[in-house]
Amino acid sequence: MPSSDASMQQNSSELKNKNKNNMATTCWSAENATRAYLRTLKMGKKDKEPDSSEFISALAAGNNAQLIVMACGGGQAESSIGALVAAANQTGGSVVCIFPGHQELHSSRQALGLSYTDSIEFVLGDATTLLLNEYKGADFVLVDCEMEDKKAVLVSARRSASKNGALVVGYNAIHCGPWFSNSNGMKVHFLPIGNGIMVSRIPPAKSHWIVEVDKCTGEEHVYRITSPRNKHIHV
């Protein structure tokens, strides 16, 4: 049976490792951001100036995003999807694209070609529901602000964000910034890049550790208690 001191050292080591893992998902990586930006730049047309796609890619990669979810609208989204693939390739993450209908999904797959489709999970369904269930815990969510239910999708993205923190980004947001920021109590940064980008950082959920000692064996048991974020979000 391990001694109490040995058990304490082991638990302390595990605690440090857990904290390191949590920090890894929230620390900014300038190297990842730069490489993803350059990859996305090479994907585009040579005569095209950098726009929102390169910025989105750098933002996702710089934040070491692991589960990247995109809620696509009815317009063309190939450049944004390609940008997320470039970011995921840099961070080792995965990309999920949610489409509202078969036509949008099929046209995007055709436009992207085989070189990209193998790196993407294409999903057909309601983004609001999927974000709260199958893809809960995403640490980077990109939303087309031209889609009809953009407001509900953006709120769902915030509610379902990773406990370690997340970024919720809206593109084509040139007319959407003021109402979303004011109506949902979220701190939103509007950037005049491309057709407008909204960026909202979701902070990590607060947590603390509880240590209990087994009176019979003397072994320590460590529990992490996570406090829920504020759920009072008005739509």
Instruction: Give tens-digit pLDDT for 90-107.
Output: 999 999 999 999 998 998
d(CA 189, CA 46): 30
In which band, very low, low, confident or very high, does the pLDDT at 21 lie, cut at 50, 70 and 90?
very low
User: Distance between terminal CA atoms of the chain?
Assistant: 56
Of 3-7, 25-29, 190-194, 209-213, the one with minimum mean pLDDT is 3-7
In which band, very low, low, confident or very high, does the pLDDT at 50 lie, cut at 50, 70 and 90?
low
* Greater pLDDT, 190 or 49: 190
Domains of the chain, by residue range, sit at 27-42+49-202
Q: For residue 169, what is the enclosing H or E element? A: strand 166-171
**pLDDT at res. 8:** 36
Residues near 80 by Cβ (< 8 Å), separated by ≥ 6? 52, 53, 56, 70, 142, 144, 171
pLDDT (tens digit, 9 = 90+) per residue, 132-176? 999 999 999 999 999 988 989 999 999 998 888 899 999 998 877
Give yes or no for a contact between 69 and 99, defined as CB atoms under 8 angstroms apart: no
- The fourth-level CATH superfamily of domain 27-42+49-202 is Vaccinia Virus protein VP39 (3.40.50.150)
**pLDDT at res. 169:** 94
Question: The pTM is what?
Answer: 0.72
d(CA 171, CA 151): 13
